[in-house]
Structure 1
Amino acid sequence: MDDGTVDRPIDEEAPSSGSADDGAAPDPGPGATGSTASDDEPAPLAEEAVGDGRRKYVEVVTADGDRHEHGDSYLRETEAAFLVSTAPGFPRGETVTYGKDDLARVSVEQHHSSCFITTAVAGEEETLAALRGFRDDALAPSPAGRPLVTLYEAVSPPIAATLAARPDGATARAVRRLVRTCARLARRRERAAPPRSAAIGALLVAIYAVGLVVASVGHVLAAVGVGDSE
């Protein structure tokens, strides 16, 4: 987790865009351009909450205590609502709107990429680049690979948070070795010719799946208070 977590408690009124005297919008001054944001054109969150505009893990808790998680998503804020979308343009069909009156908390975890577990245990750029390349070139374009990517991005953010909190634990060390093995296989696959490249890719997926299972077990044990030896 690279930039930390930002919690946005929903317990304050949004600041008014007008003046205190007559409610009119302030004069932007000569030479100013642009338009005032509306519900149809959401204003971005403050810089400290959004980071640099990359995709992020968003957790929303409603006033009734319901919890909603959005992995690898974009977040915007209007005066009355938070909008979470899988696409940066916030298209209507891919955007969920949460009214502020119905929320208790919004948490944001910023990531450098959607390789959450890889970032948590082995954040070296070379390792990340190799596995991102395999994901983008081999898995994402494939009908069989896309569900795997979707599943990984849905379940891995909280698991990665546990690994990042215990970087020297036995679970993180084991997953780190498996992830680095996968990165080496990804680089070897790039140099291999078919059908050997396909076989290497299948082996890579299998090893990473083992790493995900190990990480998941560690996450569950941490949740129930079982220590992770160093």
Structure 2
Amino acid sequence: MTDRTVDDGSDGPHPEAEQAVGDGRTKYVEVVTVGGDRHEHGDSYVREDAGAFYVSADSGFPPARTEVYHKKDLARVSIEQHHSACFVTTAVAGEEETLAALRGFRDGSLRPSPVGRPLVAVYEAVSPPIADTLAAHPDARTARVVRRLVRACAALARRRERAGPVVTAALSVLLTALYVVGVAIAAAGHLATAVAECVGN
């Protein structure tokens, strides 16, 4: 089994966690052990040394809140930068509060589920050019509609965090549906803009 929780009794960062992975911002981390165990961490900081990865929600990597994955025990490690995957949200409503709420729903509900995981994968594959179009035409009808949807989804995601199990489940279904609708509207607007630009040229 992977040695997960580090607790050596000290309050400082783990002494071996010397090299940050990426740019020091939070990541989505998926770890699969050679035994087939799968562990996911959203909004986490990552460090590594020659023998292990260190994952923590605290950028100071306190031992009591740091999980250690020894490389010899791992089959695969996937580390994704959060901000780079929120293309459409960043393009139409870049407020950090909105981004944080939707990232929380994505990583806490969509990514772990069999239905949500492929939706996220499709979104991350197709959304960069769509986001570029939205950012280039912020006053276009599509951008305004998507912006309203994004902000409504963020409000629902924040409400979901405080809700009971039944309401949480209902809001998860609603948010997933709005997620699909928002991407579809954004994609349609992107295609319409591309066609108009081609005709204009």
TM-score by structure 2 length? 0.57
Unaligned 5+ residue runs, structure 2?
A: 1-21, 26-75
Q: Distance in 2 between matches of 1:157 and 1:53?
A: 23
Q: What does residue 174 of structure 2 align with?
A: 203
After superposition, the Cα gap between the structure-2 partners of 1:167 and 1:53, relative to the gap in structure 1 and judged at 3 Å, is farther
Match of 1:133 in 2: 104
Q: Which amino acid aligns with 1:199?
A: A
Residue 86 of structure 2 is aligned to residue 115 of structure 1: yes
Match of 1:150 among 100, 106, 121: 121
CA shift at 1:143, angstroms? 1.7
Corresponding residue number in structure 1 for 2:146 = 175
Structure 2 CA distance for aligned equivalents of residues 172 and 52 of structure 1: 30
1:166 aligns with 2:166: no
Q: Give 1:59-74 correspondences, 5 Å limit.
A: none
Mapped to 1, the partners of 2:173 and 2:147 lie a distance apart of: 19
2:161 pairs with one of 185, 190, 193 = 190
Structure having the higher helix fraction is: 2
Question: What percentage of residue pairs aligned between the two structures are identical?
Answer: 69
**1:112 Cα deviation from its structure 2 partner:** 3.0
141 and 111 in structure 1: CA distance in 2 versus 1, 3 angstrom threshold: closer
Residue type at the aligned position of 1:165? A
Question: Number of residues paired by the alignment?
Answer: 129
Residue 52 of structure 1 and its aligned partner are, at CA, apart by 4.6
Q: CA deviation at 1:190?
A: 0.5
What is the aligned counterpart of 1:225 among 192, 196, 201? 196
What is the root-mean-square deviation in Å for CA atoms of aligned residues?
Answer: 3.0
Q: Is the 8 A contact 2:82 2:103 kept in 1?
A: no
Residue pair 2:89, 2:99 contacting (<8 A) in 1 also = yes
1:31 maps to which residue? none
Runs (4+) of structure 1 exceeding 6 A deviation are none
Instruction: Indicate yes or no: 2:183 matched with 1:212.
Output: yes
Deviations 1:51-104 (A, max 9, x none): 9588xxxxxxxxxxxxxxxxxxxxxxxxxxxxxxxxxxxxxx99xxxxxxxxxx
Q: CA deviation at 1:129?
A: 0.1
Letter in 2 for 1:113: S
What's the offset of the Cα at 1:168?
1.3
Q: What are the within-5 Å matches in structure 2 for residues 21-32 of structure 1?
A: none
TM-score (norm 1): 0.50
Unaligned runs of 5+ in 1: 1-50, 55-92, 95-109
Secondary structure in 2 matching 1:180: helix
How far apart are 1:208 and its partner, in Å?
A: 2.0
